Structure 1
Amino acid sequence: MRDTRRMKRMVRAGKKHQITGLGLNLIPILDILTVLVCFLLFHSFNGDMPAAQVRLPYSIVETRPRETVHIVVTPEVVLVQDEAVVSTRKLLDGMSEMVPEVAERLRQLEPHLPQTAAEDRELTVLADKTIQFKVLKKILSTCTASGYGKISLAVVQKAAKKS
């Protein structure tokens, strides 16, 4: 078939109306998504982050942690608000039911806490799952004697088993 001038003109006119070069550019989208993921990971934790050497026990929990005074019990040391106060080995070997070092540190923190009734003061204990219960009992007794009425034990949330 012969190309006439009219046919050539129609082909040229058709090319003018075609949209070209509007392909989807993925690089800016990936940049935005990367920034969004980093932001969400950075701000996804509410409450206290356990130290790397503390392996929390697992539990099925429903509520999110609140901002409270926190005590971290590692296999080596007990930390109150990220300050080392006593060796865990000393608590294991000691005969006393109270821990005076922890009580003293809690007294030091009182002026920095909001003024609430003694039974409303909150405290969170983050303890390694290998810590013996008698060590935890000494720490919990000391916290109760220091006027903390609401004491929580932090655990790692695991999914509920479906029956």
Structure 2
Amino acid sequence: MRHESRRMKRMARSHKRKKTSGMNLTSLMDVFTILVFFLLTNTSSNEALEPPKVITLPDSVVETKPRETVTLMVTNEEILVESNSVVATSEVLESEEIIIEAIKQAMIAEMGKAIGVAQASAEAEAEEAGTEGEVQPEPPEVNILADRGIPFSLLKKVMSSCTEAGYTKVSLAVIQKASQG
């Protein structure tokens, strides 16, 4: 009998210990780690510009992805700089001027953002290359999203206005198709 009572005391002690122990969080932490990893990889992979539904971009087999820059959109109704309406498309088409002053002024107003992006890009490339010292920023650039049905004479005026505002790199956004090779 005495032997049984010791055994019962031991079982009671071990049962008390189990109740006082906390919740095991290892499985929960594993799930959260996987969730954080999934969110980080999927948010950083969305580098392409999303064109609005009113613009149908032309197709291309370009290999490089666009960098984050000032965005200028040309629709059938209006021209927008960073989603702010600047001038009506019909007004630009009717104009005899090669440089459209409204576009030029809007692009000059966005110059601070363009230079900041170019400076950050140059610093990141220098850090990646391991070089130190004075970093020369790249010239400001603009991405133009234009509907494939827009006449080239309009695009020429838009691009001329951007270069007159100081944007030396002008990129036209296209839809990337599979490469032919």
Tell me what 1:121 maps to: 140
* Equivalent position amino acid for 1:63 in 2: T
**Structure 1 stretches lacking a partner, 5+ long:** 1-31
What's the counterpart of residue 66 of structure 1?
67
Counterpart of 2:167?
148
Residue 47 of structure 2: aligned partner: 46
2:153 equivalent among 134, 141, 148: 134
Q: Secondary structure at the match of 2:108?
A: helix
- Displacement of 1:83 in angstroms is 0.4
Deviation at 1:107, TM superposition (A): 1.6
Aligned Cα RMSD in Å?
Answer: 2.9
Q: Does the aligned pair in 2 maintain the 1:59–1:156 contact within 8 Å?
A: yes
Q: Percent identity?
A: 37
The one-character-per-residue Cα deviations of 1:68-108 (angstroms, maximum 9, x if unpaired) are: 01100011110001101011111111111111111111121
1:92 aligned partner: 93
The corresponding residue for 2:81 is 80
Q: In 2, Cα distance between the equivalents of 1:126 and 1:66?
A: 13
Q: Distance in 1 between matches of 2:110 and 2:146?
A: 20
TM-score by length of 2: 0.63
Are residues 1:105 and 2:91 paired? no
Partner SS state of residue 107, structure 1: helix
Q: Provide the C-alpha distance between the structure 2 equivalents of 1:104 and 1:92, rounded to a whole number of angstroms.
A: 18
Asked if the contact 1:91–1:99 (Cα under 8 Å) also holds between the matched residues in 2, the reply is yes
Pair 93,65 (structure 1): closer, same or farther in 2 beyond 3 Å = same
1:153 positional shift: 0.6
Cα separation, partners in 2 of 1:65 and 1:148, compared to 1, 3 Å: same
**One-letter amino acid of the counterpart of residue 52, structure 1:** K
Moved more, 76-85 or 118-127: 118-127
User: What's the TM-score, normalizing by structure 1?
Assistant: 0.69
Equivalence for 1:17: none
User: Do 1:48 and 1:70's aligned partners in 2 also have CA atoms closer than 8 Å?
Assistant: no
Helix, strand or coil for the counterpart of 2:115? coil
Q: Distance in 2 between matches of 1:148 and 1:119?
A: 11
- Give the conservation status (yes or no) of the 8 Å contact 1:119–1:148: no
CA shift, 1:45, in A, is 2.4
Q: Does the CA-based 8 Å contact 1:97-1:141 persist in structure 2?
A: yes
Where structure 2 has 5 or more consecutive residues not aligned to the other structure, the ranges are 1-33, 120-135
